[in-house]
């Protein structure tokens, strides 16, 4: 078995190959680290190498297997971790110089769960400063490039994770999402990304203070991968319970039978959608119909009001807890984006915060009622194909264009429902795909529909540089 064949495999194939004795965990990790050494210098996706730790973990896994023990469902799978969550012995930088020495004394729950499931962490991936953008550049770690096309964004804030998966630097990339930071990078890099339900994957960073109510309700961790089986595998691993997160919910991963009835919303709440995005949505609808789904064109639940809730909760947190830190960091990109987002949300004082939380409850009720009629919502991931690099900081007008195109990215976290970004191939302007949304804790419906699309579209291709 050649090293090239191993690093190009899916997570499920790697775990199966190690468990069956086709190759060892050490061979798989050596192959993965060699691929990182060859390809990452061209894209700067993995900004911290965990090679020594990974090789030791692989040796332990091989010893377990030799004793007849099962290391877990991720048996030897190479995984990357985003630099905004705690990993013991590494700095939780969040892309900022002020946290370059903020070394974690313990793993966050999601990292702990990945290890318990037998996953091997091979590196830590880049994010924009403060994880604040749909692009990935900061003064500490530099800029991440899209492995398919350096002229377009790899997305953000989990741009490093998605670029790493697309380039074959890992089989599974860990990401976080408060306004599209898993779904959009997956879209931009031509892979799949799952934003789980709020409460599905436990979260906690001991390296810093607990976050305020906006992030508590909206920020989640989830997987980025090249196939639905890998998302299923990694979600099961990441979502194990942890007492450190009081918001974690012990909901089953299989929610039972559901009607194969989907709503197709081409332009939610009046979004202006490009021809490429519209074509992808109609293609996905036809694929679902061919797979036995009933798909009807219907308006989506409220997106703009949900996006307003997201903006106010997020900016209330940022204005209250991070505004001074953003000023001190003096990252030009983050400062510009923060100013634009603050202008959109307005000053979020106590009255506004309380009214926003009140409005959120009504919106959640509307969305839950919607999913009593439709099991699935098919809608744009973004209104446009992936943007040119750094478009959002080119001018105020360009930021407004990006912000509007990301309406569905911003809306869904405010509701707490799961969403799946599905890659369908490439347009003339870069990777293209669609977004699937379902009721809370029904990731199983998303993955079922995703498998139907995957069966017809095939696996996303790796970007074979290096």
Those residues with Cβ within 8 angstroms of residue 339's Cβ, 6 or more apart along the chain or in another chain:
none
| 466, part of any domain | no
Q: Which of 82, 221, 382, 421 is catalytic?
A: 82
- State how far the Cα of 24 lies from the Cα of 125, in Å rounded to an integer: 25
| 464, part of any domain | no
- State how far the Cα of 398 lies from the Cα of 134, in Å rounded to an integer: 13
Q: Which of 181, 197, 221, 265 is catalytic?
A: 181
Is the per-residue pLDDT at 332 higher than 70? yes
How many domains in the chain? 1
Domain with 66, as residue range(s), is 3-457
Residue-wise pLDDT for 268-305, tens only, equals 999 999 999 999 999 999 999 999 999 999 999 999 99
CA dist list (Å): 374 to 12, 261, 465: 31, 6, 42
The rounded percent of the chain whose pLDDT value lies above 70 is: 99
| 463, part of any domain | no
pTM for the predicted model, two decimal places: 0.97
| 287, part of any domain | yes
| 391, part of any domain | yes
What does the mean pLDDT of the chain come to? 96
429 a catalytic residue: no
| 243, part of any domain | yes
Residue-wise pLDDT for 31-71, tens only, equals 999 999 999 999 999 999 999 999 999 999 999 999 999 99
Helix orientation angle between 25-43 and 51-66, rounded to the nearest 10 degrees: 160
| 352, part of any domain | yes
355 a catalytic residue: no
207 a catalytic residue: no
| 444, part of any domain | yes
Centroid of chain to Cα 338:
21
Task: Report the run of H or E that residue 78 belongs to, with start and end.
Answer: strand 78-82
Q: What is the CATH number of the domain that holds 45?
A: 3.90.1300.10
Residue-wise pLDDT for 108-161, tens only, equals 999 999 999 999 999 999 999 999 999 999 999 999 999 999 999 999 999 999
Q: Which of 12, 24, 112, 157 is catalytic?
A: 157
Mean pLDDT value of segment 404-432:
97
Centroid of chain to Cα 123:
16
- State how far the Cα of 51 lies from the Cα of 430, in Å rounded to an integer: 32
């Amino acid at each position: 078995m050649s090293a090239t064949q191993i690093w190009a495999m899916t997570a499920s194939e790697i775990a199966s190959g190690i468990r069956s004795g086709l190759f060892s965990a050490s061979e798989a990790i050596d192959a993965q680290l060699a691929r990182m050494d060859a390809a990452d210098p061209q894209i700067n996706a993995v900004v911290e190498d965990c090679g020594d730790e990974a090789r030791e973990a692989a040796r332990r896994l091989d010893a377990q297997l030799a004793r007849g023990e099962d290391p877990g469902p991720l048996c030897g799978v190479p995984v990357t971790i985003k630099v905004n969550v705690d990993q013991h012995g590494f700095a939780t930088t969040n892309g900022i110089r002020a946290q370059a020495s903020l070394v974690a004394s313990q793993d966050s729950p999601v990292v702990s769960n990945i290890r318990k499931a037998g996953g091997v962490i091979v590196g830590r991936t880049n994010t924009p400063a403060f994880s604040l953008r749909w692009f990935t550049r900061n003064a500490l770690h530099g800029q991440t490039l899209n492995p398919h096309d350096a002229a377009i964004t790899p997305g953000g804030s989990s741009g490093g994770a998605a670029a790493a998966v697309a380039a074959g630097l890992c089989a599974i990339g860990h990401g976080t999402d408060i306004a599209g930071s898993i779904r959009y990078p997956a879209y931009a890099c031509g892979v799949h990304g799952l934003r789980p339900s709020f409460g599905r994957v436990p979260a906690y960073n001991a390296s810093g203070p607990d976050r305020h109510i906006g992030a508590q309700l909206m920020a989640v961790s989830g997987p980025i991968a090249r196939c639905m089986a890998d998302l299923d595998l990694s979600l099961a691993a990441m979502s194990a319970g942890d007492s450190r997160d009081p918001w974690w919910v012990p909901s089953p991963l299989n929610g039972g039978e559901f009607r194969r009835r989907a709503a197709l919303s081409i332009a939610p709440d009046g979004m202006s959608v490009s021809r490429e995005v519209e074509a992808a949505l109609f293609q996905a609808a036809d694929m679902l119909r061919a797979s036995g789904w009933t798909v009807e064109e219907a308006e989506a639940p409220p997106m703009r009001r949900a996006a307003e809730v997201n903006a106010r909760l997020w900016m209330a947190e940022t204005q209250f807890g991070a505004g001074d830190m953003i000023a001190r960091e003096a990252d030009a990109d983050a400062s510009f984006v923060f100013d634009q987002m603050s202008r959109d949300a307005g000053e979020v004082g106590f009255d506004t915060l309380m009214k926003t939380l009140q409005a959120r409850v009504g919106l959640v009720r509307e969305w839950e009622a919607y999913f009593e009629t439709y099991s699935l919502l098919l809608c744009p991931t973004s209104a446009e194909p992936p943007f040119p690099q750094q478009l959002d900081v080119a001018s105020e007008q360009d930021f407004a264009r990006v912000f509007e195109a990301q309406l569905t990215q911003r809306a869904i976290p405010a509701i707490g429902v799961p969403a799946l970004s599905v890659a369908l191939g490439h347009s003339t302007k870069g990777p293209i795909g669609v977004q699937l949304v379902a009721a809370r804790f029904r990731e199983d419906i998303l993955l079922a529909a995703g498998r139907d699309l995957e069966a017809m579209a095939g696996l996303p291709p790796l970007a074979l540089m290096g």
